[in-house]
Structure 1
């Protein structure tokens, strides 16, 4: 078996027991997975094929832990003013997202679940190694009712809500037919989960943070579509469903 390289002189955390093993070496397989862990001694390196340790990194006693998972991120949200995203060039938003994805990976996070904004294009760029970043699970656009957490129009705005082609985080849908179509459309575009704005939030201008959103019939329709596609829902709680 060939190896991509070896990390030597590591402190390895056993997450099952909480123990720390010092002065360990880790052999990395060609696909990037961990193939072998053992003490940093002559026997470990003698067991490797010739040339396997050409890429050798001395960790100098540094800690090595499993990749972290962030279950709630928005890599396209370069600003906390989400309404600005809907008026910003998608290419600029993408450039900012690529920068954030690389920074996220360097922080030790190897899988992220995006809660609105990221799409199949970013996931494909990561899969094809066009850019550096963690594995990306995405919902596309989060589903929001009119005047809900995903509706970024101010009280004085009388324009129609932006459609789903902009760089915003959410899409507006009301009633059984619209929520089903919105869920199906995000699934069509490759969503690994459906994000539902089922309650108010601080980042939206017209809803109260304590408000409940979508009717039970609408929520049930979204759940049915997610179940039919065998994917997950990004935001549901017993409290929300039992109101």
Structure 2
């Protein structure tokens, strides 16, 4: 079986507001620690190892469509990950203080090459899901390794959310299935600005990790009795959830094919 990162679905529930406690950068570090622990109960890691895995500096030329005035805007987006030790320490310390992970040393005073024993707080999500009904979202380890430097921590977090929301049964029989959160919903769940959300969705599409199918607007009557356009959420085809994709995991049990 392919290796995967196990992400509790409670993280992606809007009302739980986990991303008000940790950032997308902290989440990427959290995923790295989960990956390195694997089936074990703990792992030895250094600040340097985490930084080397997550550091990146890349920029993209993108075209963003404004739905309201129906114009295309060309922009340049610079993706910068965790490129210095102070930033890594800050996010690790946050994960510890927010009780996502446990560390055997004080993060603030360790040296960059010091090894720290990390373990996960297994009790973190139980208080939100006493009946243990929410389950988890599995993400292919190779997808994380291959793409984190290309899409950045924010892009990675959005991809994880879309993977969680993807439903292979949406659409007609010939449809691949899709996720259809609004951009505003993604922004609120992940506590990321709406403009940033739009940029990283385009980066994910540019890297062919998702396919964005824009939906038409519909005419509605507002509270003033005026006719206005209401914009429907895009459909997001999440490639790693499609059978036949190299990052697909059998335990997703999707019926659609790529």
Q: TM-score range by the shorter chain?
A: under 0.3
Q: Which has the higher helix share?
A: 2
Larger radius of gyration: 1
Name the TM-score, length of structure 2 as normaliser: 0.24
Give the number of the structure with larger relative contact order, counting CA–CA contacts within 8 Å between residues 6 or more apart. Answer: 2
